[in-house]
């Protein structure tokens, strides 16, 4: 398993995540389509926030299953926290906010979140 560092543009949000990132989700829901992120999902215990959770601004919508976190300073949305369909805690990671990831080498899977 690889450990990646990630965060927002200004550095107010920083984290480490243990994951093997080869596939990502490109979702077309109303939020993801505007944000343009590529998502990877990991169990909650695979991510470590390096900055206090109080520095995260949060937005929820639709079914409120994911707390979309973003930086209140620079506006970048590097991650979200929620549960999978079985109720297990997980993080969604915007892989564009990780260091050392070759986006062009990833298998991008399209998800129709607009219809979900």
Q: 51-86: per-residue pLDDT in tens?
A: 999 999 999 887 777 899 999 999 999 999 999 889
Give CA torsion, residues 98, 65, 75, 104, to 10 deg.
30
pLDDT at 66: 86
Q: By the 8 A CB rule, do 37 and 25 touch?
A: no
Residue with tokens 């979140």: 113
Q: Could you tell me which CATH number the domain at 2-111 has?
A: 2.170.150.70
Give me the residue spans of the domains in the chain.
2-111
Whole-angstrom Cα distance, residue 33 to residue 2?
A: 28
The predicted-structure confidence for 10-56, as pLDDT tens digits, reads as follows 999 999 999 999 999 999 988 888 888 899 999 999 999 999 999 99
């Amino acid at each position: 398993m690889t450990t990646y560092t990630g965060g927002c543009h200004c550095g107010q949000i920083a984290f480490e995540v243990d994951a093997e990132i080869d596939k990502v989700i490109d979702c077309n829901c109303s939020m993801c389509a505007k944000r343009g992120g590529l998502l990877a999902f990991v169990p909650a215990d695979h991510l470590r926030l390096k900055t206090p959770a109080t520095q995260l601004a949060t937005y929820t919508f639709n079914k409120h299953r994911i707390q979309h976190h973003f930086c209140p300073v620079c506006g970048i949305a590097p991650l979200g926290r929620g549960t999978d369909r079985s109720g297990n805690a997980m993080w969604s990671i915007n892989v564009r906010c990780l260091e050392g990831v070759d986006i062009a080498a990833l298998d991008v899977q399209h998800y129709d979140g607009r219809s979900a």
